[in-house]
Structure 1
Amino acid sequence: MTPEEYRQEWLKGLYHTDYNNCRFADNKEQFARDWIKNKLPFVNLDNPQNIVDRINWCKIYDKDERKPLWADKISAHNKIALNPNLKDILIQPSYIWICNEFTLDMFNQLPDGKWFFRCNHGSGWNMRFEKKKGNDPSYLISKLNEWLSLNYAYIGGYEWQYENITPGVIVQPDLGQLKDWNFWCENGEIKYVQTVRKLGKNLEEFMTFTDADGNEPDMYIGVKPIRFKLLDSERTILEKMKPIVKKLSSDFKFVRVDLYSINSEVKFSELTFSPCSGKLILNQL
């Protein structure tokens, strides 16, 4: 079935999912508004009052042309590689393919070892795999190709920055269960700092949520963390990361800068413009 034939079937009432309804919507901006009102009735899009309101407002209306370039994990990698002041934050080596299909021949180009595979055009489309004799990569390749066939923009109420990214796969060393440092930034200013350890697919340990200086915040987003203050050793890492965060967040209306600290070195994870597709809960302390 061709894409147009599939669309005609959808117009007849078949295949009505959130993904297809967004994909075929005549007015995707209106679809995004309706999606937010349905999923997040407490969000004020007309007169944003807090950071969650503003994240969702930006999701619909902030069409900053830089956002697709940074949402694309391959493009972001290349941009940092070309910046002499930032290139050292990249995790290396990196293997990159621009492709609509990931093949066994591509996989076989990798040396033996533990690798972290990510599709560049979405969020959460990643998998760990150890390449060694006896390990069958069939499931890995199948999942990568499933993700490569999809457009992430249509999954969570229209995240426009993903819509026109050319799909591909980036592979980097698997460094284990790292602690994510998430910097919630508005207009180039750090508002909150969150640390999270990812223990597995959809399994996370929310460790801290603080203000920009590692102290108790006025509120927190999402799951209640273990602590609302950073330890002295964590504050040292925070101060080392701040200049990098400032460079990466520049003057974006909103961006979450995600970094790692590995053996006392700061490493880049990604920039996120609509975390959790905007489905965020704001909690007061």
Structure 2
Amino acid sequence: MERDSFLYKARRTGQVVAHKFIPDTVMSKLYFKIVLGKKLNLDNPQTFNEKLQWCKLFYYPRSKRVVTCTDKYAVRKYIKKKGYGDTLTPLLGAWDRAEDIEWDKLPDQFVLKCNHGCAYNIVVSDKKTLDKKTTEKQLNTWLKEDFGAFNIELHYSKIKPHKIICEEFLGANITDYKFFCFNGEPKFIYVSNDLIHDRQAQIGFFYLDGSKMPLTRDDYTDIPEVKLPSFFNEMLDMAKDLSKDFPFVRVDFFLANDTYYFAELTFTPSAAMMPFNPDKYDLEWGKMLDISELEEKYGKKK
């Protein structure tokens, strides 16, 4: 659904209103039923999606580390502290308001992002053709939004302040490598091409040796095979190190210019409503994710 369409804006407005008046657990169960056609079990979560739903309601918003690592600006400091600063996409600027952007100091190509959500991206391939006023209006609109309210991803709501960041343009042909990490262990990757606002035209799920998984996404074109890059083990080691402090995290990298860049840490892929085909993998992945200690510590009541 196009973000500028009436239906998209109406849905977003409805989600924000519902978030204000209806308990988060109720809304999560409703969205889960609408998107996946299943009843959400929060009392005894078993599947991958159920366990992440539990985490996003009861654990993630209470974890300062999760909130920091969800913040696309604050996570940069975290990555540097972990010793991986050389993998960060060069930062060209950061501002609290769009009006503060120093356009004249920016190169001809760059990427603008907001730090507090997903798909808040503007890729500028030619600054001369950019409508700066329209861009500023869009960025300021995003800055005012509570991204966490849309699909009850409460850790996004904890990100303060909202900021605009500008990163170096890595090129038009970027490949995305996403490592699914369970209790500190990378288990699978998916590879995507034609990255547009985190909605990939092509993706494929693979084991860590590069062999294809019998798992597809009906909403994307499937990649039948992948040739792992020469620096794959470097990414794998980094993903393992970055994931060891979390029950689950997806560690994302951009591949461009014959190297890799840290992209982001994702705690709720598809807002914890990720479709599986075959569906049995939802349960199989869930078995690999141990949240028993978190359930004891944080309980099941918000």
TM-score tier by shorter-chain length is 0.7 to 0.9
Q: Say which of 102, 108, 114 aligns to 1:113.
A: 108
Structure 2 counterparts to residues 26-175 of structure 1, below 5 A: 27-42=23-38, 44-46=40-42, 47-63=44-60, 64-83=63-82, 85-97=83-95, 99=96, 101-103=97-99, 105-108=100-103, 110-130=105-125, 132-133=127-128, 135-156=130-151, 158-165=152-159, 166-175=161-170
Asked if 1:188 corresponds to 2:208, the answer is no
| Identity across the alignment (%) | 24
1:249–1:213 distance in 2 versus 1, CA, 3 Å: same
| Structure 1: stretches of 5+ with no match in the other structure | 1-14
Name the counterpart of 1:21.
18
SS at match of 1:256: strand
Asked if 1:282 corresponds to 2:276, the answer is yes
C-alpha displacement of 1:263 = 3.2
1:94–1:57 distance in 2 versus 1, CA, 3 Å: same
SS at match of 2:255: strand
Relative contact order (C-alpha < 8 Å, sep 6+): which is higher?
A: 2
Does the 8 Å CA contact 1:52/1:280 hold for their aligned counterparts?
A: yes
Does the 8 Å CA contact 1:179/1:196 hold for their aligned counterparts?
A: yes
Deviates more, 1:249-258 or 1:166-175: 249-258
Distance 1:149 1:119 in 2: 11
Name the counterpart of 1:10.
none
Name the counterpart of 2:295.
none
1:200–1:155 distance in 2 versus 1, CA, 3 Å: same
C-alpha displacement of 1:130 = 4.5
Name the counterpart of 2:256.
262
Distance 1:132 1:262 in 2: 21
SS at match of 2:237: helix
Question: Which structure's residues are more often strand, by fraction?
Answer: 1
Does the 8 Å CA contact 1:95/1:170 hold for their aligned counterparts?
A: yes
Name the counterpart of 1:249.
243
Deviations 1:125-183 (A, max 9, x none): 01012464564311211110110010101011x10111121200110112123111111
Distance 1:40 1:180 in 2: 25
TM-score normalised by the chain length of structure 2: 0.77
Distance 2:65 2:25 in 1: 19
Q: Say which of 214, 222, 226 aligns to 1:225.
A: 222
C-alpha displacement of 1:198 = 2.9
Deviations 1:58-111 (A, max 9, x none): 22233333111011111001222334x2111111133112x2x310x4233532
Deviates more, 1:56-65 or 1:191-200: 56-65
Amino acid corresponding to residue 87 of structure 1 in structure 2: G
SS at match of 2:106: coil
Amino acid corresponding to residue 18 of structure 1 in structure 2: Q
C-alpha displacement of 1:245 = 0.4
Deviates more, 1:241-250 or 1:26-35: 26-35
C-alpha displacement of 1:235 = 5.1
Name the counterpart of 2:202.
206
Deviates more, 1:215-224 or 1:270-279: 215-224
Aligned-pair RMSD on alpha carbons?
2.6
Distance 1:44 1:126 in 2: 31
* Pairs aligned (count): 262
Question: Which structure's residues are more often helix, by fraction?
Answer: 2
